[in-house]
């Protein structure tokens, strides 16, 4: 019976980093119809996701007016609101998502250099 050596803190960090790169982001964007602000938020988050997450995300856009039942329990007080469901911790961002640095920080994504 062989015993595997314990991982160092650096090795654990590298494992966590590798896992986070393959982890899928689950995002929900709540909007109010196709207003200019809603359209801008959709365009901004799609651009950010494609640039920084590639195919490692699912984005669901929910129109509050067309699907009011999907809003219950989410405590949406303003729109557009982006909710990061996964990976944890859960995060909420409100606005048109035009400040890319703020969105990346809110989603715990490191900007590409």
Average pLDDT of 27-48? Answer: 96
Residue 11 domain flag: no
17 in any annotated domain:
no
pTM: 0.77
Domain count, the chain: 1
As a whole number of angstroms, the longest Cα–Cα distance in the chain is: 65
Tally the residues of the chain: 113
Distance of alpha carbon 67 from alpha carbon 87, whole angstroms: 25
Q: How many CA atoms lie within 13 A of 88 on its CB side?
A: 0
Residue 99 belongs to a domain: yes
Report if residue 98 sits inside a domain: yes
Which domain CATH number covers 34? 3.40.30.10
Whether residue 81 lies inside any domain: the answer is: yes
Give domain status of residue 95, yes or no: yes
pLDDT exceeds cutoff 70 at 6: yes
Segment 62-78, tens digit of pLDDT: 999 998 888 888 888 89
**pLDDT tens for residues 80-108?**
999 999 999 999 999 999 999 999 999 99
> Across all residues in the chain, what is the average pLDDT?
86
């Amino acid at each position: 019976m062989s015993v595997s050596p314990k991982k160092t803190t650096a090795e654990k960090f590298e494992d966590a980093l590798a896992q986070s790169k393959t982890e899928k982001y689950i995002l929900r964007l709540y909007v109010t119809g196709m207003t200019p602000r809603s359209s801008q938020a959709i365009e901004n988050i799609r651009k950010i996701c494609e640039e920084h997450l590639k195919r490692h995300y699912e984005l669901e856009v929910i129109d509050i007016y067309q699907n009011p039942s999907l809003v219950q329990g989410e405590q949406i007080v303003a729109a557009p609101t982006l909710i990061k469901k996964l990976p944890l911790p859960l995060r909420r961002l409100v606005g048109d998502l035009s400040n890319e640095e703020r969105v990346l920080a809110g989603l715990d994504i490191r900007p590409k250099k």
